[in-house]
Structure 1
Amino acid sequence: MSRRTASRALIAVALSVSLAACGSDDGADSPDSSPSAAATEVTTDLSEKPEVPASDDPAPDELVIDDVVVGDGAEAVTGSTADVKYVGAFYESGEEFDSSWSGGADETIPVPLGAGRVIPGFEQGIEGMKVGGRRMITIPSDLGYGPEGSPPVIPGDATLVFVMDLVEVTP
C-alpha cells in the first residue's frame, strides 16, 4: 500500500467515524434509537399482547417515546389515519386501565392524526412511527387527562404509559 493510498484510507475511516458519531438526520423530534430499560422489558413479538412494566423512577414531565420494534412500512404523519393496537397502564404500577387487545388480537382503533380526537400525548407518540413498529409512550399528565383526570378510571394528574403497535396508515 502506498503512502497516498494509506492516507486516503485513513481519511475515509476518519470521515465515516465522524459521520457515524453525528447520528441520524431525522430531526430533533425523532426518538432515541436505544430504548429505555423499561422498554426493553416489553415483548418484541407483535402477535403477543404487551405488558407495561411498573416504574419506581420519578415520573417524567415530558413525553417519552421508546421504540421497542422499529417498523419498516408507511410512516404515520399529520393528516393520515393510523390504525393502532394498544395497552394503556399507569406509570407507577403498570396496572392496565384499557386495551384494544381486549377486543381480540386483530382489534385496532383508527386515530386521525392532527384531528385532536385522542389525548395529545397519544397522538404525538404515534407521529413518525412506521407500520410494523411497537412503541412505548410515557405521557405526563399535561399531555394526558390533566388535573381533572377521566373519572372513574383515570385519576387527576396521572402519568400514563401506552404500548402501541402501528398496524396500518391510510392517507
Structure 2
Amino acid sequence: MTEQSMPKVNAAFGAYPTIEFEGAAPQGLRVQELVEGDGPLVRKGDTVTVNYHGVVWGGEAPFDSSFDRHQPASFAIGVGQVIKGWDQSVPGHNVGSRLLVSIPPEYGYGSRGVPQAGIGGDDTLVFVVDIISTR
C-alpha cells in the first residue's frame, strides 16, 4: 500500500486537522496511522468515542467535523451504524491513535452521495480520526 497519494495532515493527536491535497484520490479504501496510540485496541462491536474531521477529496471546508463542534462522537463500530469505510478502518487501531482515512464512494455514501452536505456520488471522502476511547 503506497501512501504517495494520501494527503498531508498534521500528525499531533488532538490538534485541529489541516489537510493538504496533491493529485488524484487513491483507489480503494486507504488507512494511514499518523500516530500510534498505546491505549486499548478497538474491536468490532465496541462503542468508540472519536474526534473526526471530514472533507471531500480536494476540498477545504469540512462537511462534518466534531472538532468544529468541540464535541466528540460515540457510536458502535463494525456493526453498520456508520459508513462502511469507518467500520473497516477504525477497528484494529488503539485508543490514542490518529488515523487518516481515504474512503471511496462504495465505502462511503454510494452513488447518490449526500447532496445537502456537498458530497457528490463520485466523491472520495477524507477523514482525520482521533480515537479517544473504546468500550
TM-score normalized with structure 2 length: 0.89
Cα RMSD (Å):
1.9
Counterparts of 1:80-99 in structure 2, within 5 Å, are 80-99=46-65
Aligned to 1:149: 113
For 2:46 and 2:55, the matched residues in 1 are separated by: 26
1:94/1:122 Cα in 2 relative to 1: closer, same or farther (>3 Å)? farther
Of Structure 1 and Structure 2, the greater strand share is in 2
For 2:62 and 2:22, the matched residues in 1 are separated by: 13
Conserved? CA contact 2:6–2:26, under 8 Å: no
Unpaired segments of 5 or more residues in structure 1?
1-31
Of Structure 1 and Structure 2, the greater helix share is in 1
SS of residue matched to 2:115:
coil
* Pairs aligned (count): 134
Alpha-carbon deviation of 1:43?
A: 1.7
* Aligned residue type for 1:149: G
For 1:90 and 1:113, the matched residues in 2 are separated by: 22
Unpaired segments of 5 or more residues in structure 2?
none
Of 41, 44, 62, 2:28 maps to 62
Larger radius of gyration: 1
Cα deviation code 1:85-115 (max 9, x no counterpart)? 00001112344211001121xx211120232
Runs of 4 or more consecutive aligned structure 1 residues displaced over 6 Å after TM superposition: none
Conserved? CA contact 1:35–1:67, under 8 Å: no
TM-score normalized with structure 1 length: 0.71
